[in-house]
Amino acid sequence: MPLESSPKPEPALSLRLGLNSCKARTFKIKMASIRLSSKGQKRFSLCHASGAEIETDAPIDNHGKGEAFSPTDLLAASLAACMLTILEIEMEKSGEKLAWAKAELKKSMHASPRKVAKVEIDIYLPKGLEANRLWLRWKGAMERCPVALSLHPELIQMINYRFEEEISGNG
């Protein structure tokens, strides 16, 4: 009598192959659904369950055309976006509203092994926010955002806070 195999656990990431479109390859992660499809030439379209789309392209220095965000660009941008999202959440919990914010970042790569070595982020916030009695709590929450905590400890995160007069149109 053959042995019965136990059911295999469902993988955290499941892959569905199909037509060459946004719906062609689906990655399912707990609480998130992203569809990824190849556009050829090291370019991919990423489709969020909401319908929002972004494209990636390999950078010029890594066999691509550099015509869209690279996956490592998205990693760096995710850190800045996560930090500002957490700031807004924490401020709302405190009954405050973030009038505006923006960030500019630079990403530096390590050659061997090829990986992101450093992310430098300049975060621009309304002048006077640093004087708020809750600023240090909010700053700490930003620096412990989920993306920051998920990055490898060797990746250098340089965060600079800049406080300015209000920028019209979110600059």
Segments making up each domain of the chain, as ranges: 14-62, 71-170
Lowest mean pLDDT among 33-47, 79-93, 139-153, 157-171: 157-171
The predicted model scores a pTM of: 0.78
Position of tokens 């149109």?
169
Are residues 53 and 46 in contact, defined by beta-carbon separation less than 8 angstroms? yes
Residue 10 has pLDDT above 90, yes or no: no
Q: What is the pLDDT of residue 171?
A: 52
DSSP symbol at 62: G
Name the CATH code of domain 71-170 (choices 3.20.20.30, 3.40.50.1010, 3.40.50.300, 3.30.300.20): 3.30.300.20
pLDDT in tens, 70-106: 999 999 999 999 999 999 999 999 999 999 999 999 9
Distance between CA atoms of residues 147 and 79, nearest Å: 5
Q: What is the pLDDT of residue 8?
A: 40
Residue 170 has pLDDT above 60, yes or no: no
Over pLDDT 90: what percentage of the chain? Answer: 74
For the chain, how far is it from start to end, CA to CA, in angstroms? 72
